[in-house]
Amino acid sequence: MDGEEDPVKKQQIIDARARNISHNVRCTECGSQSIEDSQADIAILLRKVSHIVSTYLHLAVFSDLCSDVQFSMG
């Protein structure tokens, strides 16, 4: 089982990353809540997007792109 990742642990990591993104991004409709807390349609969509991004990051699909891109929160 060396080199194989436990699917439950993998899903937990992906979910945790998605929640982290969702807690740190503000809803574009209400602005006062994170997309994790908001029930606005756009927030629901953005939560799904954050989960997709987390999955791809975990699978290292964008590893080559991420090494060349600098992300800024400002």
Secondary structure string (H, E, C) spanning 7-74: HHHHHHHHHHHHHHHHHHCECCCCCCCECCCCCCHHHHHHHHHHHHHHHHHHHCCCHHHHHHCCCCCC
Q: What is the pLDDT along the chain (74 residues), one digit of tens a residue?
A: 445 568 888 888 888 888 988 999 999 898 889 999 999 999 999 999 998 888 887 776 545 555 555 555 54
pLDDT value at position 44? 94
Under 8 Å CB-to-CB from 25, ≥6 apart: which residues? 34, 35, 46, 50
- According to the model, what pLDDT value does residue 70 have? 56
pLDDT for res 66: 56
pTM above 0.85, yes or no: no
